[in-house]
Structure 1
Amino acid sequence: MTLERRRATWAIYVWCRRTDELVDGPNASRIAPTALDRWEARLEDLFQGRPFDMMDAALADTVAKFPVDIQPFKDMIEGMRMDLTKSRYKNFDELYLYCYYVAGTVGLLSVPVMGIAPESQAPTESVYNAALALGIANQLTNILRDVGEE
């Protein structure tokens, strides 16, 4: 990857980690749903070119340079909201939706930055579908890995 793409990938990764830390980090027990509302408002500001801090500025730069859509970011925040209220899923459809929110979104955020090879014959939609499937598969693997300790 070019330096610009590596930096953009890092900026997305940092935002995702910071989002996850809101519900899984050391202060998670003190996080209220309103904190996620503030985080989402901050995301919207960032997309309007008004970053809050230097890490937000890195993502704002990414958003300016690559065709990254805000919806997967918002969807990830929705997954964090689910983490605050739900720990069990009654069927695979519910689990799949959770996996989409917290990990499938990462795949969708990565494609605009990583790009699609110019010589690729794959339709753009199939590339996004594959990235989505990879994110969901990674989350299902994480869940299976943690079954023993939880």
Structure 2
Amino acid sequence: MQVTSHKNISLLEAQRYCRRLARAHYENFTVGSLLLPRELRQHVYNVYAYARVADDFADELLSDEESLAKLTDWEHKLEACYQGETDHPVFVALADTIQQFQIPITPFRSLLRAFRQ
């Protein structure tokens, strides 16, 4: 999966991006998300999109060095997200979720650490 920078993306556009990404990968995810309260669905899409992209980086048919470089770049984008400095749609949407639920950076970093192993 190619991830590119998206300047000046709105929260609504970022949320659509995450929702499309989640729905495009697993049909069961879309069905399962209907069991969630409506007000939580978008937040689950946002977190899922973060994990989905990281998983794609780990699973791509690249050299280990290239995969690790992409995961490191994704972690830098995560850190920028926590500093309020992001322009990637996944992180624009994720920042809203992080703020609303006061999610610490640790679980997101732990996921990347697991993908690096």
Rounded to whole Å, the distance in 2 between the matches of 1:78 and 1:11 is 19
Higher Cα Rg: structure 1 or 2? 1
Per the TM alignment, residue 4 of structure 1 is displaced from its structure 2 partner at its CA by: 3.3
Look up the match of 2:69: 34
Rounded to whole Å, the distance in 2 between the matches of 1:74 and 1:38 is 12
Mark the CA change 1:22 to 1:43 in structure 2 (over 3 Å): closer, same or farther: same
| Larger RCO of the pair (alpha carbons < 8 Å, separation 6+) | 2
What is the DSSP-based 3-state SS (H/G/I as helix, E as strand, rest coil) of the residue aligned with 2:87?
coil
Alignment of 1:1-150 (within 5 A): 1-25=36-60, 27-29=61-63, 31-82=66-117
Question: Residue by residue, what CA displacement relative to the aligned partner does 1:102-145 show, whole Å, maximum 9, x if unpaired?
Answer: xxxxxxxxxxxxxxxxxxxxxxxxxxxxxxxxxxxxxxxxxxxx
Give the aligned length: 81
Per the TM alignment, residue 55 of structure 1 is displaced from its structure 2 partner at its CA by: 2.0
TM-score normalised to structure 2 length: 0.61
Cα RMSD for the two superposed structures: 1.8
Per the TM alignment, residue 5 of structure 1 is displaced from its structure 2 partner at its CA by: 1.3
Structure 2 unaligned segments of length 5 or more: list them: 1-35
Question: Residue by residue, what CA displacement relative to the aligned partner does 1:4-57 show, whole Å, maximum 9, x if unpaired?
Answer: 3111111001111111000113x4447242222211111011112222322221
Rounded to whole Å, the distance in 1 between the matches of 2:45 and 2:62 is 23
Structure 1 unaligned segments of length 5 or more: list them: 83-150
The percentage of aligned residue pairs carrying the same residue is 30
TM-score normalised to structure 1 length: 0.48
